[in-house]
Structure 1
Amino acid sequence: MQNAFECLKAIHSTFSVFELFTPDLLHEIELGVWKNLLIHLLRILQAADPRLLDVLNERFRKMPVFGRTTIRRFSNNVSELKQLAAHNYEDILQCALVAFEGLLEAPHDEIVHDVLFAMAEWHALAKLRMHTEETLKALEDETVTLTTLLRKFVDITCAAFNASELPRERAARLRRAAKSGASNGSTSTADDSRAADSTPSAKSKVFNMNTYKVHSLPDYPEAIREYGTMDSYTTMLVSLAYFVIVPILNSVDRQRARIRSSRRGTAVRTSATQWRRSGA
C-alpha cells in the first residue's frame, strides 16, 4: 500500500517524508520537558515540606519584571500552575535558578541547581536567532550535559522523595473519574461519594524520562543546521500573531458596532420625523 508521499519520490529521488517534521520547541520543550520537570520539582517540595511551596511562591512574586515581554510579573501562585501559557513557563525557567535555591538539603539542592542551570542554558542556546558552528557545538555539548544531569536527578533526588500528586492533579483526576462515572450511568450522589472515598488521597508520581520529548533533545542542533534558527518555524509564531491579530479584530468589531449604532440612530430619527409630519 502506497501513501500520498510515494508519488513525490518519482519526482525527487532524495525525498524523505521524515524531513517534513521539524522540532517544535514550544510544545516539546517549554510545554513538554520543562513543564514536566517543573511539576515534579513542585511534587518534591511538597514531599519534603508543603510549606516550601509557599516560600517558592513568595520568591517568584518578588521577582522584578524585565522588559515588556521578557519576564512578566508573577501575580498568581506558581505552584498552582493556573492559566499558564508557554511564555509563562519560559519566564519561570528564567527565574527558577534563584527561586529554588536552598529549598532542599544537600546533595539534592546542588543537583536541582545544576539541572535548572543546564535546562536554562540549553533553552537559551536553542532559541538563539543567529547561530554559528561554535554555538551549535555548544548546544550539542549542553544537550549531553542536560541529559546526564536529568538521569542523575532521577537516580538520586527523585529516588529520595516519595513524590505524589499535587492538589490540582488530584482534583483533576477526581473530576475525570466523576465525569467517567456519570457517562457510564452512575449518576447517584451516593455512588459518587463512595467513589471519591475509595480514591486514594494522592497517587505516587515519578519523573519519566522515557518520552519522545526528552529523546528529541539531540535533534535540535541538526535541525538548526538543516532548516535554520528556531524562530523561523516555531509554533510560537502563531502565539505571537495572536497579540497582533486580536487587537485588529477587536478594533474592527468596535467600528462595526459604531456603524450599526449610527444606522439605528439614523433610522430612529427618520421614523420620528416621518411620524411628526404625518401627525401634523
Structure 2
Amino acid sequence: MAARNFEDLLQCAIPVFDDLLPRPHDTLHMHSDLTLDILDQTTTELGKQFRRFKANVCTAYDARELDKEVNTRSRRQAKEAARQTQAGKGKNPSKHEDKPDGMAESVERNVLHRKVSLNLHTYKFHSLGDYALCIRRLGTTDSYSTEAGELEHRTGKQRYLRTDRKTFVHQLTQIERHQTRIRRIKNHLQQSQSHEAADSDPTIHHHIGLSEKINDNIGSHLRLREGDPAMKNYFSRLKDHLLQRVLSSQFADLDQAAHGDINQILFKRNRIFHHNIACINYTTYDTRRDQDVINPKTSHCNIMVLSSSSESGHYHYANVLGIHHVNTVVVRGSYQTPHQMEFLFVRWYEAADADSCRMALDHICFSLLDSEGAFGFLNPVDVLRASHIIPHFSKGMHHADGRGLSGMARDRGDWQEYFVNRFVDRDMLMRFHYGLGVGHVYSHQDMLPVGSPSDVSSPQEITVDGREGDEHEEIDSENSEYEPTGVEEEVLFDQEQNGSTESIIEELDNMFTIEHKLDYES
C-alpha cells in the first residue's frame, strides 16, 4: 500500500470510526505564518489526544496480537533459536545435546498472544513536533523533495528495454528526441483544438456541453414525473428562477428585478435539454487551477456554494439531480431577447444538530421532501466546487425498507445524517480556514481596507435558492462564445463566520489594516 492510499483511507476514516467505541472513549503546498501557527496548535492538540487515547482507551481494553502476527513472530523466533543452536553446537556440541526439548518449550510459550498497545516511542510520533519548525526554516517539503530525481531512473530503464543492448547510447538519444517531438505535436494539436474543447480551458468557470441530442418536451417531462414531490411547481419555479437571472443582469436595482412576470419567459420549441456532466473549474488555495466533474448519476454529484446566512456558516451544500439548459425568449413589450440558459436542478442539504465537540466534522442532512426550499434551481456560475459528503453510518438509513418517496430525488438510499469531509484535499481544508487560502479570492474581499477598489461596486448576494444579483452567464443563442465568471471572484462575506479560525481573528484584523496592502507575491 502506497502512502497516497493510506492518506485516502485516513480522509474517510472519521465517519467509519464514529460510535465505534463507547461514548467515554470516543474521540500544504503553500504556507503562511498564520497557517503555520494553526499547524503548531493542531500538532499540540494532536499530541494531547494521542496521550489521552493511550492512557484512557488503550488501558480499558485487553488488546492482543492477531493470529497473523503471532505466526510471524513464532517463525522468526524459531529461526533465531535454530541459528543459535547451530552456532552453539559448533562451539561446544556436548553442551547442547540434551536441550532440544527445553528450547522447544520456550518457543511454544512465546507463541501465546501478547498484549499490545499504542506505541508512542517511534520516530513518526517524535518528529511530529518538528514539521512546523522545518517549514519555517526550509519551506514546504515539496520544495526540496528528491522524489522527482529518484524516480527519473525509471525513464532511462524503460527506454533501455527498447534498445538492442549494444549501441544503446545512440538509440536512447533517438528515443528521447522522438518522444519530445511527439509531445510537441500533441501540445500543438491540443492548443489548436482548444476552442472546440472548452472543458479543458481553465480560464472559464465551468463547461456544460452544447449538444442538444438528449431533450424532452417540457410537458412530457412533467407528465412522466407527475406526483413526484421533487417536481412540485417545477415549471413555475423554473420560470421564476430564469426570469430573476435575466432581470438581475439587466437591472442593478434588486427592487426592479423582483417585479417581473414569469409569463415573459418563453421556451423555444418547448424543449428542455439534458446533460450528463458539468465541469467546474476553480482556483485552489495555492493559486493553481483545478477542475471537478459533476455527474448526477454517480457519487460525484454533491456541490458547495457560498452562503449569505451567517447562522449556517460560509457554505451551503446541494445534491445535483439534473444538469440542463433551455433556449428561452424573454418578451418585454415589443422586444424579444433570446437566451441560452444553463441551470442545475438540486436538492438542498441543511445543517443537522452537531456534537458539542469543536473538532467534529460538520453534520448535514437532507431537507424534508415536502418542505419549502427542499429543491431548487442553481446557476452553475454560483458553484464553488464539488464537495465530499460521507454518510453518518452510525445513525442508520432514513428508509430501512429501501423504499423511497421520490424517484427523482432518489431518496431510497438516503441516510439520516451526513458528514462534510473537509479533509478530502488541501484546497478543501483551506476553504474551512476562511480567509487563509491565497487563491480563494472571495474570502479576502471583506478584509480589504476601507476605500479599496472593492468598495466601489459590491456584487449581489446569493440566496439559498440559487438566485444571484450579478449575472454574467446570459448569452445570445446566436453567439455562444462566452466566459462566465465564477462566484469565487464576486461575492463578499464576513470573516468571523468560521469557527475553525476564531482563535486568530484578532491577528487577522491586525494583519489586514489600512496601512497594509495585500501582496501575495511576497
Please classify the TM superposition score into its range, dividing by the shorter chain length.
0.3 to 0.5
Q: Whose helix proportion is higher, 1 or 2?
A: 1
Q: Normalization by structure 1: what TM-score?
A: 0.48
Output the TM-score relative to the length of structure 2: 0.27
Q: Name the larger-Rg structure.
A: 2
Q: Which has the higher strand share?
A: 2
